[in-house]
Amino acid sequence: MEIKVLKDILSANNQIAERNRQLLDSNNVFAVNLMSSPGAGKTSLILETIKRLKGKTRIGVVEGDIRSSLDAEMISKEGVSVVQINTGGECHLDANMTYSALGNVPLQDIELLLIENVGNLVCPAEFAIGEHKKVLISSIPEGGDKPFKYPLMFHIADAVLINKIDLLPYLKFDTEAFSQAIRGMNERVEIFQISCTTGEGIQEWLSWLLTQIDRR
Amino acid sequence: MHELAITQSMLDLVLEQAEKVGAKEVGKINLVIGEMTGVVDECVKFYFDFLSKGTIAEGATLSFKMVPTMAQCRDCHKSFELKEFDWTCPYCQGYGIKIIAGQELFVESMEVE
């Protein structure tokens, strides 16, 4: 006998993600799912964000890595609470892993939770984890064709940070065309040009972030 | 690489639905997968054979309906299939598009006994 199912394969994940969101909401925590390819600057952005928002908002971090706790150690030196998730081979965080991690985050003591996903432009785009905003970092050395190669990621991002703009004089990269390509496939996206090295554009990113937290 | 997690979720969903109707065996699973998800059918088959061992879905055939990425122009509202590196509207050359198909990832139906 044939039975109609018509159910999203990721519906179980989405349900847990919704539960995570409720848990965050009930604690008044705003969560950002930070995604990018490896080496685009997720950890650098987190460090820069923590340093500049000291005294303005209380931050917690969840570090997702396939293995190692190098990033978590670096971040904990900044005096914020860090929870490490080692996915043990999985190339993305999912809602259930995030749920387990949330149990170790002092939710009542923070207002902003930065969740660093595994460096990868494919798989994290599929898996909701309960975040309020999806933020994508795309760096200049990766090349301008990335929106077309990983359209889903660019399509679902609430904000795209074009990082390492201090390298623009040395590389062939058309920021205008790149931004136009992203806006073409994503009507509501916010785009920021930043450099974690020189600090350029970071203030704009932080203002946007603080506005999002206030609006929550 | 996400196919492992996706196949596991798909299998969980299939087993849950099969249990609901008291099925003894799952013969065929019809899946709908949008091109934009980047899910590779061969990869899902490979993981499925491995993950379904010892379950009532072991040996089930997987059928894939692949959906091409389709867009609608935000200016002239005409629909078209997206090509790899050119997402401008072929009718009015506008660059703003809305994705209208290609993000599907669901179990459409299944045959059980």
Asked if A7 is an interface residue toward chain B (Cβ–Cβ < 8 A), one would say yes
pLDDT (0 to 100) of residue B86 = 77
User: Mean pLDDT for each 10-residue chunk of chain A (216 residues)?
Assistant: 95 96 98 98 97 95 91 91 91 95 97 97 96 98 95 96 98 97 95 98 98 91
pLDDT mean across residues, chain B? 95
Helix (H) / strand (E) containing B33: strand B26-34
CB A130 within 8 A of CB A31: yes
Nearest-CA residue of chain B relative to A148? B85
Rounded to an integer, what distance in angstroms lies between the CA atom of residue A127 and that of residue A167? 32
From the list B41, B22, B60, B88, the residue with the least C-alpha distance to A181 is: B88
Residue among A11, A151, A187 minimizing CB distance to B36: A151
In angstroms, the CA A20 to CA A89 distance is 23
How far, in Å, CA of B113 to CA of B111, rounded? 7
C-alpha distance from A174 to closest chain B C-alpha (Å): 16
Cβ distance A90 to B17 less than 8 Å, yes or no, reads no
Q: DSSP labels for B53-107?
A: TTSTTTT-EEEEEEE--EEEETTT--EEEPBTTB-S-TTT----EEEEES--EEE
> Residue B1 — pLDDT band, cuts 50, 70, 90?
low
Choose among B10, B17, B87: nearest Cβ to A148.
B87
Instruction: Assess: ipTM above 0.85.
Output: yes
Q: Closest partner residue to B106 among A7, A92, A120, by Cβ?
A: A7
Please tell me the distance in Å from B42's CA to the nearest CA on chain A. Answer: 17
For B16-48, write each residue's pLDDT tens digit.
999 999 999 999 999 999 999 999 999 999 999
pTM: 0.93
A177 touches chain B (CB under 8 A): no
Mind telling me how many Å the CA of A198 is from chain B's nearest CA? 32
Residue to mutate among B1, B25, B47, with most A CBs inside 10 A, is B1
Query: Which of A13, A126, A184 lies nearest to residue B95, judging by beta carbons?
Result: A184
B37 at A interface, C-beta within 8 A:
yes
- Which band of pLDDT confidence, cut at 50, 70 and 90, is reported for residue B2? confident
Selected from 3.90.550.10, 3.30.2320.50, 3.40.190.10, 1.10.150.530, the CATH number assigned to the domain covering B3-68+102-112 reads: 3.30.2320.50
CA nearest to A34, candidates A23, A46, A24, A22: A46
What is residue A15's predicted lDDT score, i.e. its pLDDT? Answer: 96
pLDDT band at B95 (very low <50, low <70, confident <90, very high): confident
Judged against a pLDDT cut of 90, whether residue B112 lies above it is answered with: yes
pLDDT at A67: 86
Structure-block tokens of residue A205: 């990113």
Min CA distance, B22 vs chain A (Å)?
12
How far apart are the CA of A7 and the nearest CA of chain B, in angstroms? 5
Q: Is A127 on the interface with B (CB under 8 A)?
A: yes
pLDDT given for residue A130 in this prediction: 98
Domain boundaries, chain A: 13-215
Is residue A111 a contact partner of residue A28, using CB atoms and an 8 Å limit?
A: yes
Supply the pLDDT for residue A137: 98
A13-215, CATH topology level: Rossmann fold (3.40.50)
